[in-house]
């Protein structure tokens, strides 16, 4: 090869698509050097497209070693220099440096966002030998051939250095907070107990944990108070409906009983009918947060899983870039072209035909903008390979959302019927869709309930079949789940669209929280307790969001990177001094919490045999095999034990068996779906299952 253009991308799939899109014959040739793939295309001149593996460079301290803190001096280094599992990064960097040697033009084609900009900049600066100043930039939001060709034809003259600075400062500040605070916690616990356990916190992780702990404290301190509800079961045209009493919650039983007695055995009369028509506007386009929230609500996918799926669909050129905060769909994406392509799929054909018949296509948009990318939308391209069930769902959801934003408003009608029963008023409520509008496009994912009432007139006598009195108790606030926690992080402005899901996962990985309905462990309580006691600034929502805002301003050149860095260190220095001074006390607290956390991980539930012991996951000293046993065995009071699968991970499950009420465990073998195990041999569900199997085998 003679002199060529070198294009740097973020991932191998993207490199392949770019090379194929730019090649004159539409097929980039794959080559390898030392196991590192790259692609060669010809477009008048030879083009070499080489992928990264995400971040090849990271922030690290100047002085080697991990057994000290505080740390304030840092530099950017190859990841293999500081991460044990990143050895292959060395080969990757060496190959890119080798390819850069014969290049006479450089192009950054990494994802056009904060992370992608930092990845491309570091490669061009460190691996390619200070080529960041002469490199051009490709900007695209989909990996379709058309957009990649356009992006190459309209290269930006230089890198977006404001975006790079915003990304660099974010990495540096997060590293300073993360490495200092995490080391302080980990070293304190290790020095006290002599045992190593990874503990971590950070600029965003601390406040996120605080949200969950605050909610957990509210739940645990909540005292239910009784109240009463009165309802009337009424019959109209041989149909039975439930009417609610005018006062939703009645605090005194005597008052509720008096209403019941007054209304018992009496019919009602319709005194007022209030009918209202209103329009329900189409939804707004997906940004990453709303896609993650919708996928969690509909399919139960965690935000992290949804992002992974969306990223794969993007690399397959099926949807636009998912890490966006935009709720705008610019005209330039070509609404009609996308709809025509989607129309080739039978299940979308009638919807696209209807939309294409409109004289003008105008989407309903949200307020949020993203300077780098539009909202998430389908490219209209058909899958080249088989998608799994989860990928098909997210793609279908994205397509239907795109169709829905161009739809007409839905017309709905609400009906409120006021019924007088012995001077007490009850209400019947009806809901009906008169014109479906956009709801037809989004139908599988519309969550609304219709209540159709028969024809009712004022002064009509209504038969009251019975009056019901229900004793209820006020409920504690609900626990966060991954969807609601993501929303809370977005609302309070902490973390970024790309990092929030990973921060949540870290809380699970560190054993600070557990379960889908998020419960704080003893260790999580203790970590937050230490942070609040000795360094409250670190978990301050105000401080975190202010710092977040200032880092955003670096991108728009309204704030200087160095000023943000200096102020971040100013906040951190006194915090680290306090942690150092109280290291022994903190170490003792954390060590005890780690012990309790390890025990908590193994407690399955109350022993249903003796009633006083706890069932635990134990290991036999003789065989090494794990089993479930009662803690009263060690006291000589209970010999209850049950076998467990020996493969995969086993952990207590939050819900008891619906068949027998016994505690259950979750078993997860790598590569397979996790399943719930009831270990009660006499469980009615197991007996039913055995019967069905016997019937099939007869």
Nearest to residue 436, comparing CAs of 329, 344, 354?
Answer: 354
C-alpha 408/C-alpha 162 separation (Å) is 40
- Cβ proximity of 263 and 422 under 8 Å: yes
- 678: its two tokens: 């009831």
- Does 70 sit behind a cis peptide bond, omega within 30 degrees of 0 on the bond before it? yes
H/E stretch holding 273: strand 268-280
- Does 352 sit behind a cis peptide bond, omega within 30 degrees of 0 on the bond before it? no
Choosing from 121, 245, 296, 321, which is the catalytic residue? 321
H/E stretch holding 58: strand 57-61
Q: How many CA atoms lie within 13 A of 311 on its CB side?
A: 13
- Give the pairing type, strands 103-108 and 45-51: unpaired
Give the CA angle between residues 450, 451, 455 to the nearest 5°: 130
Report the SS3 class of residue 408: coil
Rg of the chain over Cα atoms, rounded to whole angstroms, equals 31
- Cβ proximity of 615 and 607 under 8 Å: yes
Residues near 345 by beta carbon (within 8 Å), at least 6 away in sequence: 382
- Give the pairing type, strands 268-280 and 461-473: antiparallel
Report the SS3 class of residue 128: coil
- Give the pairing type, strands 45-51 and 4-9: parallel
Give the CA angle between residues 658, 663, 664 to the nearest 5°: 80
Residues near 495 by beta carbon (within 8 Å), at least 6 away in sequence: 204, 208, 489, 503, 548
Nearest to residue 9, comparing CAs of 176, 167, 146, 123?
Answer: 123
- Give the pairing type, strands 410-421 and 424-435: antiparallel
Dihedral over alpha carbons 385, 389, 390, 396 (to 10 degrees):
80
Report the SS3 class of residue 277: strand
H/E stretch holding 677: strand 675-678
Nearest to residue 423, comparing CAs of 249, 246, 275?
Answer: 246
Told to judge if 321 belongs to the known catalytic residues of this protein, a careful annotator would answer: yes
Would you please indicate which residues are annotated as catalytic (active-site) residues? 321
């Amino acid at each position: 090869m003679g002199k060529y253009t070198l294009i740097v991308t973020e991932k191998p799939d993207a490199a392949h698509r770019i090379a194929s899109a730019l090649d004159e014959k539409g097929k980039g040739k794959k080559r390898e050097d030392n196991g590192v793939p790259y692609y060669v295309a010809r477009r008048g001149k030879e083009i070499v497209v080489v992928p990264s593996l995400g971040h090849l460079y990271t922030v690290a301290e100047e002085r080697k070693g991990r057994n000290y803190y505080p740390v304030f001096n840092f530099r950017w280094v190859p990841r293999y220099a500081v991460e044990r599992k990143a050895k292959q990064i060395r080969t990757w960097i060496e190959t890119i440096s080798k390819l850069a040697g014969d290049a006479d033009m450089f192009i950054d084609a990494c994802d056009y966002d904060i992370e992608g900009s930092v990845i491309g900049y570091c490669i061009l600066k460190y691996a390619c030998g200070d080529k960041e100043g002469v490199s051009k930039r490709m900007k695209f939001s989909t990996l379709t051939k058309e957009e990649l060709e356009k992006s190459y034809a309209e290269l930006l003259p230089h890198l977006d250095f404001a975006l790079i600075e915003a990304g660099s400062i974010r990495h540096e500040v997060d590293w300073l907070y993360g490495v200092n605070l995490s080391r302080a916690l980990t070293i304190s616990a290790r020095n006290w107990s002599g045992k190593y356990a990874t503990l971590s916190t950070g600029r965003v992780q601390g406040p996120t944990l605080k949200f969950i702990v605050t909610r957990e404290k509210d739940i645990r301190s909540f005292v239910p108070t009784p109240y009463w509800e009165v309802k009337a079961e009424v019959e109209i045209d041989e149909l039975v409906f439930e009417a609610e009493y005018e006062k939703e919650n009645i605090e005194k039983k005597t008052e509720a009983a008096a209403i019941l007695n007054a209304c018992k055995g009496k019919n009602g009369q319709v005194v007022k009918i209030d009918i209202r028509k209103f329009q329900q506007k189409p939804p707004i386009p997906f940004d990453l947060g709303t896609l993650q929230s919708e996928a969690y609500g509909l399919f139960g996918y965690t935000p992290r899983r949804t992002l992974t799926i969306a990223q794969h669909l993007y690399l397959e050129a099926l949807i636009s870039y998912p890490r966006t905060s935009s709720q705008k769909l610019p005209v330039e994406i070509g609404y009609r072209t996308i709809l025509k392509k989607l129309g080739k799929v039978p299940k979308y054909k009638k919807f696209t035909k209807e939309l294409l018949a409109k004289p003008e296509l105008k989407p309903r948009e949200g307020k949020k903008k993203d300077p780098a990318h539009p909202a998430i939308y389908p490219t209209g391209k058909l899958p080249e390979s088989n998608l799994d069930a989860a990928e098909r769902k997210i793609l279908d959801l994205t397509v239907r959302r795109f169709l829905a934003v161009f739809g007409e408003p839905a017309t709905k009608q609400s009906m409120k019927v006021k019924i007088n029963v012995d001077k007490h008023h009850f209400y019947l409520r009806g809901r009906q869709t008169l014109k479906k509008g956009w709801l037809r496009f989004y139908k599988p994912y519309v969550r609304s309930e219709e209540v159709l009432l028969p024809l009712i007139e004022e002064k009509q006598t209504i038969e009251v079949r019975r009056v019901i009195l229900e004793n209820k108790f006020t409920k504690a606030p609900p626990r966060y789940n991954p969807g609601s926690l993501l929303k809370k992080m977005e609302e309070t402005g902490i973390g970024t669209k790309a990092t929030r899901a990973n921060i949540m996962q870290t809380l699970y990985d560190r054993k600070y929280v557990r379960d889908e309905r998020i419960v704080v462990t003893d260790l999580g309580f203790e970590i937050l307790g230490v942070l609040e006691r000795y360094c409250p600034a670190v978990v301050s929502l105000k401080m975190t969001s202010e710092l977040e805002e200032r880092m955003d301003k670096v991108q728009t050149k309204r704030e200087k990177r160095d000023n943000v860095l200096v102020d971040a260190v100013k906040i951190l220095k006194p915090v680290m001094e306090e942690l150092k001074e109280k290291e022994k006390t903190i170490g003792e607290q954390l060590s005890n919490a780690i012990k309790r956390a390890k025990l908590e991980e193994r407690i399955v539930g109350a022993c249903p045999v003796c009633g006083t012991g706890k069932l635990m996951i134990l290991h036999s000293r003789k065989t090494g095999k794990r089993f479930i046993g009662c803690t009263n065995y060690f006291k000589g009071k209970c010999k209850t034990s049950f076998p467990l699968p020996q493969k995969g991970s086993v952990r207590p499950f939050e819900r008891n068996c619906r068949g027998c009420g016994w505690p259950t465990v979750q078993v997860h073998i790598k590569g397979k779906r996790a399943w719930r195990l009831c270990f009660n041999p006499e469980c009615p569900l197991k007996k039913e299952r055995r019967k069905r199997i016997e019937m099939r085998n007869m």
